[in-house]
Amino acid sequence: MSRIQLLIVDDEERFLKTTATLLEKRGIASQTASSGEKALQMIEQIPVDVVILDIKMPGMDGIETLKRIKSSHPLIEVILLTGHGSFDLAVTGMQLGAFDYLMKPSEISQLMEKVEQAYAKKQAMEQRKLENLASAPDASGAAPCIS
């Protein structure tokens, strides 16, 4: 469990701080980023399994960030956080490959639950990928980019 590499992205600094603290207390270490741009930088620098991503942010918004994460790191699972009424955006996010979405304000326990589910899914995906690679080594060149 403690191995989960979590990145929380939100423009609300205080939320980042408190949530990180709370999660840490519950055994999940997390990094924080206060914008989409920063988040993209960070996933290039540190290993990340799950991203909690606020949809509405100044600058690059959650949907755009999601697209970029998914294109560069398809295996990273993204949980969308929305304070917005529009399910459409959430649905769009899901179509773009987000794992799930959560309505603000949400309980820390809900958040943890989703994070764990996402991580489990990611692990399963990686496992399958490894198996695929093992069974078809020739295909390694065509495999999606994992750096």
Partner 1 sequence: MTAETRKKRESSKYSRIRRIILSRILVAPFIILLLVCGTLVYYFSATLHTRVNSEMIRIVDDHRNMIDQFLVERTEDLTFIANTTRYEVICRQQRLEEIFAMLQKSSPAFQDLGVFDHSGNHISYQGPYDLEGKNYQDAPWFKAVKEKSVYISDVFLGYRETPHFVIAVQKHENGVFWYLRATIDTLFFNNLVENIRLGKTGEAYLVNKSGIFQTKQRSGGRLMAVDPDFADAGGTDGRIITYSAKNHEGNKYRYAVGRLHQTYWQLVVRQDAGDAAAPLIHAVLVALGLIFLGGAVVVVIAFFLSSNVAHRLSLADAEKREMTNQLIMAGKLAEVGEMSSGIAHEINNPLQVMKAEVTMIGDLFSDLPPRSEQDRENFDLIKDSVNQIGIQIDRCRKITQGLLKFARKSDPVIRKISPADLLKDTLGMISHQAMLDEVSIKTRIAADLPEIESDPSQLQQVFLNLINNAVYAVRETRQPEVRIMADMAEDKVRIQVSDNGCGIPDTELEKIFLPFFTTKPVGSGTGLGLSTCFGIVENLGGKIEVNSTVGKGSTFTVFLPRAKARAKAQAGAGAAG
C-alpha–C-alpha distance, residues 94 and 110, integer Å? 18
> Site mask, partner 1, residues 104-143, x = CB under 8 A?
xxxxx-----------------------------------
How many CB atoms are located within 10 Å of the residue 118 CB?
23
Residue 73 in tokens: 């790191």
Alpha helices in 1-147 (DSSP H): 13-25, 36-45, 62-72, 87-95, 108-135
Identify the residue among 88, 135, 137, 145 touching partner 1 (CB under 8 A).
88
- The closest alpha carbon to 8, from 38, 146, 27, belongs to 38
* Residue 94 binds partner 1, judged by CB under 8 A: no
The residues pairing with 123 across neighbouring beta strands, listed in sequence order, are none
Least Å distance, CB 89 to partner 1, is: 8
Identify the residue among 2, 45, 58, 85 touching partner 1 (CB under 8 A).
85
Identify the residue among 37, 42, 56, 75 touching partner 1 (CB under 8 A).
56
* Residue 83 binds partner 1, judged by CB under 8 A: yes
Identify the residue among 4, 7, 9, 19 touching partner 1 (CB under 8 A).
19
